[in-house]
Copies of this chain bind each other. A is one copy, B any other.
Amino acid sequence: MRVVIVGSVALDTIRTPGAVRADLLGGSASYASLAARFFARPAIVAVVGDDFPAADWETLAGAGVDLAGVERASGPTFRWDGSYDASLKERVTLRTEVGVFGAFRPVLPEPVRGAEALLLGNIDPALQEGVLAQMPAVALSAIDTMNYWIGSAREALLAVLPRVHLLLLNDEEARELTGEADLVRASLAALRLGAEVIVIKRGPNGVTACGPWGWLALPALPLESVVDPTGAGDAFAGGLVGCLAGRDWRRRDAFACALAAGTALASLSVEAFGVAGLARADARAVAERCRMLGELCRFDPPETR
């Protein structure tokens, strides 16, 4: 099974109260592909500059990520510099250098257009529409994080939503997109905008999904040592969409299983800086997280007297 992931490949500087790490491999497509690989073969469609380190290329390629769709352009790679507060829950962007990503026009290599799933990362909705046109019959198309575009390109975004199956949002995006403060109502309002499934990624509060099978919800794994939350939502999306590639996402059990996969990958991602947690994980670690998640929330129904 194959999943095409369109998004950013970046070099990040990440500042936490405990440490500063510069020039880390990052970007939504890096996180999502390193998570998706446990369930499907990921192919990235992205752009990097001529400064992109060979070692980072090898991190992705060595993990089995198909990089045929990654353009090497002349100029600097996309860079992001951000700083977290003591709780690791709030962050501020100190600097964004768009570099070659500013002129990115995603073109999917012919061989990947037959993939079973497509994950569209945080890019201009007009570009997302262009990608969808290149895979008109894809069995599952998903759009992830789009905070910036909800404000700045709302019309284009509303035009693309009826064309995708799955919309991933975080709490804040769900509220901003729909104007509903309550997340249950926001999910239902978002469904009316066109996608068939709304997934709300809630970080340490878990995840909810609303679709043809009704509601699904899972708690997050309780983690004592979160090191770097960057990319957790992308790792979640990669695990989710990778796990659904080639499966019928309109079936409740397939979707619930994929939500568990996403939850497991997000938990592995945040335990190290950048993509290190995902890159070092193996199938056994992923299976172990899924087992832990099952132990966390499995219950037998109580008997009333």
Contacts and interface: CB of A to CB of B under 8 A. Distances in A.
**For the side of the interface on A, what is the size category?**
35 or more
A258 B301 CA distance: 9
A123 interface: no
A66 to B, nearest CB: 14
Interface in A45-96: 86-87
Contacts of A216: 296-297
Most buried by B among A1, A204, A222, A261: A222
A156 interface: no
25 contacts: A39-B302, A86-B181, A182-B204, A183-B204, A187-B222, A208-B219, A208-B222, A210-B222, A217-B219, A217-B222, A218-B219, A218-B299, A219-B219, A219-B297, A243-B302, A256-B299, A256-B300, A257-B301, A257-B302, A260-B299, A260-B302, A283-B305, A286-B304, A290-B301, A291-B301
Nearest to A284: B304
A110 interface: no
A283 B252 CA distance: 27
B300 A224 contact: no
Nearest to A261: B302
